Amino acid sequence: MPFTRSQFFEVFARYNEATWPAQLILIALAIAAVVLAFHRSAAAGRLICAILAMLWMWMGVVYHAGFFAEVNPLARIFAILFVGQSFLFLRLATGRRSVRFSPRGNARSVMAAILIVFALPGYAVLSILAGHNYPGQPTFGLPCPTTIFTLGLLLLASSAIPRSVFAIPVAWAVVGSTGAFLLGVPEDLSLLMAALATAGMWVEGSLKRKAARYHAPLSF
């Protein structure tokens, strides 16, 4: 690590103090995205993707480039990747075929709900229990809780999403989870669980689609 544990949490403190009350706006956007998912319309799907694009642009430009780069040279690379992820969501928001989101009573939606609830109030509560108090704590709008929220929301998609859209969030979930061991941030273990849950749901969905094609009746 090119920075110490104390420097890591000092970055959070500087970020939270400098950007307040943006955190409240970001949480409001996240809640709006969840509400829109229940509309199940093409327009709602485009708005959800646009919100995700804004969240990832914020993390790339404001946090990684604006604050984390002060202590970690790799943050500039993270910034580029996060901005790239933002453009992927923007492409979904403006593309010809819209992505629809539809919460259902299946295992996929249950897992999505767990991840979303944890990303909003759950992560903050666990952070406080771990002794990380505001302003020196990761708030929503920072990479770890927002990545968990993103993966949860993507699990609610009822139409196919390109695999490339999952790549950076899942990769960051794996990278970010190292903070639990190297920096004493136990709440970041949830990142690894979110990545595994997303991968498991994706594999299950792929197997079901293949099975459906295999058992589909032949037409002449």
User: Residue 146 has which token pair?
Assistant: 């927002």
Q: Give the three-state DSSP class for 1.
A: coil
The closest of 59, 19, 62, 68 to 147, measured between CA atoms, is: 59
Q: pLDDT at position 219, please?
A: 42
User: Residue 159 has which token pair?
Assistant: 């139409």
Q: Which residues contact 127 (CB under 8 A, 6 or more apart)?
A: 137, 138, 185, 187
Count of Cβ atoms closer than 10 Å to residue 149 Cβ: 28
Q: Is the per-residue pLDDT at 20 higher than 90?
A: yes
Q: Is the per-residue pLDDT at 44 higher than 70?
A: yes
Of residues 34 and 210, more confidently modeled: 34
Extents of the domains making up the chain: 5-204
Task: Quickly state the pLDDT bin for 89 (edges 50, 70, 90).
Answer: very high
For residue range 148-190, list pLDDT tens digits in order.
999 999 999 988 888 889 999 999 999 989 888 888 888 888 8
Of residues 102 and 26, more confidently modeled: 26
Q: pLDDT at position 106, please?
A: 85
Of residues 211 and 63, more confidently modeled: 63
Task: Quickly state the pLDDT bin for 220 (edges 50, 70, 90).
Answer: very low
Q: pLDDT at position 201, please?
A: 77
- For the segment 130-139, the average pLDDT, to the nearest whole number, is 92
